[in-house]
Chain A
Amino acid sequence: DAKTTQPTSMDCAEGRAANLPCNHSTISGNEYVYWYRQIHSQGPQYIIHGLKNNETNEMASLIITEDRKSSTLILPHATLRDTAVYYCIVTSGTYKYIFGTGTRLKVLA
């Protein structure tokens, strides 16, 4: 599975959009981009995933560049409860996710 690169930490003001980038320059054609988040002391929570088209659900939007070498997770109106570590995972759909160290997002009041 492709390796991903994410910033170590980010801050975002409450009510503003949080844009979390992820680089996956070695992604191959059959690999999906998945995003999970982990709030302190809880299990990872699924957010969204996509292949090449932009995706949106009730939690977030996922923007994947045309060359698929990077993506951005967008939380449109961040709240304090969105403070968490966000993981970007690239996988061909096999059973084994490779988590990095993720981005620690802090939403500020």
Chain B
Amino acid sequence: DTGVSQNPRHKITKRGQNVTFRCDPISEHNRLYWYRQTLGQGPEFLTYFQNEAQLEKSRLLSDRFSAERPKGSFSTLEIQRTEQGDSAMYLCASSDPGEFAGRDTEAFFGQGTRLTVV
């Protein structure tokens, strides 16, 4: 399977615990994105990597959230001291720069990790 892979698919955790999600992008893609989606809403941008560099973080990404992409391959998203409001689907996507300057090709999304904080 050459698509974007996310693990785990589902995670239930108690409030206050730390959780970590993993994303494996499509192998040739140097750009990786994290989004969050709550019920009934469209996905919201969280952060973006180009290779190993984290180039932008949304204001939605509080201090309890941290994302890494060591060596520019897979990425992890960690949430510390989870709160019930963190319950959501966390989506990862990847893309490759398009052949024309300034335009990306389309981003491909994984199936997401559904987090439930109880």
* Residues of A bordering B, CB below 8 Å: 30, 32, 34, 36, 41-46, 49, 85, 87, 92-102
Please give, as numbers and ranges, the residues of chain B lying within 8 Å of A41 by CB-CB distance: 114
Please give me the residue from chain B that is nearest to A85 by CB atom.
B42
CA A102 – CA B45 in complex, angstroms? 16
- Give the interface centre of A32, A43, A87, A102 by most chain B CB atoms within 10 Å: A43
Task: Check A30 against B91 for contact (C-beta < 8 Å).
Answer: no
Task: Check B111 against A99 for contact (C-beta < 8 Å).
Answer: no
CA A88 – CA B93 in complex, angstroms? 17
Please give, as numbers and ranges, the residues of chain B lying within 8 Å of A96 by CB-CB distance: 33, 45, 48, 56
Candidates A92, A95, A97; contact of B31 at CB < 8 Å: A95
Task: Check A99 against B106 for contact (C-beta < 8 Å).
Answer: no
Please give me the residue from chain B that is nearest to A95 by CB atom.
B48
* Residues of B bordering A, CB below 8 Å: 4, 31, 33, 40-45, 48, 50, 55-56, 91, 93, 95, 98, 102-104, 106-112, 114
Please give, as numbers and ranges, the residues of chain B lying within 8 Å of A99 by CB-CB distance: 42-44
Please give me the residue from chain B that is nearest to A47 by CB atom.
B106
Please give, as numbers and ranges, the residues of chain A lying within 8 Å of B41 by CB-CB distance: 101
Task: Check B104 against A46 for contact (C-beta < 8 Å).
Answer: no
Task: Check B42 against A102 for contact (C-beta < 8 Å).
Answer: yes
Q: How far is the CB of B100 from chain A (nearest CB, A)?
A: 8
CA A101 – CA B111 in complex, angstroms? 19
Please give, as numbers and ranges, the residues of chain B lying within 8 Å of A46 by CB-CB distance: 106-109
Candidates B42, B93, B102, B106; contact of A30 at CB < 8 Å: B102
CA A5 – CA B109 in complex, angstroms? 23
Please give, as numbers and ranges, the residues of chain A lying within 8 Å of B56 by CB-CB distance: 95-96
Task: Check B42 against A101 for contact (C-beta < 8 Å).
Answer: yes
Please give me the residue from chain B that is nearest to A49 by CB atom.
B106
